Structure 1
Amino acid sequence: MTIDSLPTLKQVIDSHGLAARKSLGQNFLLDLNLTAKIARLSGRNEDHDILEIGPGPGGLTRGLLAEGARHILAIEKDDRCLPALADIQAAYPDRLTVLCGDALDINPLDHLTPPIRVAANLPYNIGTELLVRWLTPQDWPPYWDSLTLMFQREVAQRITAAPGSKAYGRLAILCQWRTDAQIVMNLPPEAFSPPPKVSSAVVHLTALAEPRFPADANMLQHITATAFNQRRKMLRSSLKGLSPDIEDHLIAANIKPTDRAEQIDVERFCALARSLKAT
Structure 2
Amino acid sequence: MAIDGLPPLREVIATHELAAKKSLGQNFLLDLNLTSRIARIPGDLSSASVLEVGPGPGGLTRGLLAEGAGRVLAIEKDARCLPALAEIAAAYPERLDVVEGDALDINPLSHLQAPIHVVANLPYNVGTELLVRWLTPANWPPYWASLTLMFQKEVAERIVATPGSKAYGRLAVLAQWRCEARIALRLPPEAFTPPPKVSSAVVHLRPRPEPLHPADPEVLSRVVAMAFNQRRKMLRSALKGLGGDVEGLLSDAGLAPTERAERVDIAGFAALARALAAR
Q: Normalised by the shorter chain, which TM-score bucket?
A: over 0.9
Q: Deviations over 1:69-128 (max 9, x none)?
A: 110000000011011100100110000000011111111110002221100000000000
What pairs with 1:114-193 in structure 2 (closer than 5 Å)?
Answer: 114-193=114-193
What is the TM-score of this pair, normalised by structure 2? 0.98
Aligned partners of 1:47 and 1:115 also within 8 Å: no
- How many Å separate the matches in 2 of 1:176 and 1:219? 16
Q: Deviations over 1:132-187 (max 9, x none)?
A: 00011111111001000000000001101111111111111000000000001000
Instruction: Specify the code of the residue in structure 1 equivalent to 2:105.
Output: D
Instruction: Specify the code of the residue in structure 1 equivalent to 2:226.
Output: T
Following TM superposition, the consecutive aligned residue runs of length 4 or more in structure 1 with deviations greater than 4 angstroms are none
Share of identical aligned residues, percent?
68
Shift of 1:253: 1.9
Shift of 1:43: 1.6
Question: Quick check: 1:269 aligned with 2:273?
Answer: no
SS for the counterpart of 1:52 is strand
SS for the counterpart of 2:183 is strand
Instruction: Specify the code of the residue in structure 2 equivalent to 1:219.
Output: V
Could you say what the CA RMSD is over the residues aligned between the two structures, in angstroms? 0.8
SS for the counterpart of 2:254 is coil
What is the TM-score of this pair, normalised by structure 1? 0.98
User: Aligned residue for 1:111?
Assistant: 111
Question: Quick check: 1:240 aligned with 2:240?
Answer: yes
- How many Å separate the matches in 2 of 1:63 and 1:166? 35
- How many Å separate the matches in 1 of 2:51 and 2:208? 19
Shift of 1:246: 1.8
Q: Deviations over 1:36-69 (max 9, x none)?
A: 0000012210121000000001010011111111
User: Aligned residue for 2:88?
Assistant: 88
- How many Å separate the matches in 2 of 1:144 and 1:115? 5
Instruction: Specify the code of the residue in structure 1 equivalent to 2:267.
Output: E
- How many Å separate the matches in 2 of 1:114 and 1:233? 42
- How many Å separate the matches in 1 of 2:207 and 2:21? 33
Instruction: Specify the code of the residue in structure 2 equivalent to 1:244.
Output: G
Question: Quick check: 1:23 aligned with 2:23?
Answer: yes
Instruction: Specify the code of the residue in structure 1 equivalent to 2:253.
Output: A
SS for the counterpart of 1:103 is coil
The worse-fitting range, judged by mean Cα deviation, of 245-254 and 32-41 is 245-254
User: Aligned residue for 2:257?
Assistant: 257
Question: Quick check: 1:70 aligned with 2:70?
Answer: yes
Question: Quick check: 1:220 aligned with 2:220?
Answer: yes
- How many Å separate the matches in 1 of 2:194 and 2:105? 27
Instruction: Specify the code of the residue in structure 2 equivalent to 1:165.
Output: S
SS for the counterpart of 1:204 is strand
Q: Which runs of 5+ in 2 are unaligned?
A: none
Q: How many residues align?
A: 279
User: Aligned residue for 2:45?
Assistant: 45
- How many Å separate the matches in 1 of 2:66 and 2:209? 30
Q: Which runs of 5+ in 1 are unaligned?
A: none
- How many Å separate the matches in 2 of 1:226 and 1:200? 28
- How many Å separate the matches in 1 of 2:53 and 2:46? 19
- How many Å separate the matches in 2 of 1:97 and 1:248? 54
Shift of 1:26: 0.3
Instruction: Specify the code of the residue in structure 2 equivalent to 1:168.
Output: Y
Aligned partners of 1:50 and 1:119 also within 8 Å: yes
SS for the counterpart of 2:36 is helix
Instruction: Specify the code of the residue in structure 1 equivalent to 2:210.
Output: E
Aligned partners of 1:48 and 1:114 also within 8 Å: no
